[in-house]
Structure 1
Amino acid sequence: KNKQQKAWFLTFLTSIVMTLGSIPFLYQLIFNANWNVNNLPSESNLSIILVGFFMTYCIIDLLLSKFFYENEISNITNMKGYLHHLVYLVLSSFVIYNQRTEIFCLMSIFEASTLVLATGKINNKSPKQDLLYATTFVSTRLLFHAIMIYLYFNYHQSKSIWLILSFLYPFHCYWFYGFIRQKV
């Protein structure tokens, strides 16, 4: 495999862990809390471990990209990658500090689209892979994200979660716009 394919392997593994790790939190939201964000269980050992795991991934991926495959990525894309990881490190630190790691884990269903993307990057994607990626991206990072913004704005006593979710949403829109522009 070439360097780019190797570079995506860590992302592939992390997206599996985070996607699977989000399932208990989604289950709680849908079936136990009946979509009431005020009835979600609070932080747990699992949520702390998953956020710590994701932070570790961000740091390792930053270091690996700097030392082993920096030439594989253009400077502009590289800066976006660094910025993306740094934003998520700050966000992860924030949720750990505020003992709200369960929300980060709930939103980690976003990584389902990353799992599809990484699989495509490793296995020289097909057009069907692009369709699956677009479907998972829209359903998780756009639709589910919008639903969570709505729920936290209208039904949760703390507006800080709503603000963070709202801050991140335009990034997902921008990334999807970029994906669509590449395809047309």
Structure 2
Amino acid sequence: MSAVKAAAAHIDWTKLSTSLGLKTETVAALSAFRKRNEEARRVLSDLKEQKTAVDFAHYRKVLKNQAVIDEVERSFKAFKPTSYDVQAQIKSLETVEAKALERAKTTATKVEAELYDLEATLKNIETSRPIEELTVDDVLKSRPEIAEHVDAALAKSKWETKGYNDKFGYVTLF
């Protein structure tokens, strides 16, 4: 258990929330957990520092009613702290952890698929021919809708492309 405490003490919370690319809801839940954890640790350390011994002899000297002191001392010695069943909270934490793990696995699967697609695209870019080596036939083969558009324009006797002169300027060869 001391190894767990040592590991928990060395968590870099800022790096954890930024470097893993977590969703905003996960980061918010993580920071809320961190705040609750720090508050609980602070309260625990404050309680550990408090003095727990009661000096009944001092109260016997100061107070006249010894019966009250005897009754309080008996009650103090008979006191047994109650233990709480925390299994419900542990089960709740386990379900939250399971949901978080499921979301993380889903995100990891999506990232892996996207990475695979990006690698395939990069390989396609690296192995493609330079644009200087492409011919009109190659372009028409890869994008048949261009040929359809040109054929439709020629059938309507349209010899100019709309917006071409605006973008590239009017050039005449005569």
- Normalised to the residue count of structure 2, the TM-score between the two structures is 0.29
| Rg comparison, structure with higher value | 2
Larger proportion of helix: 1
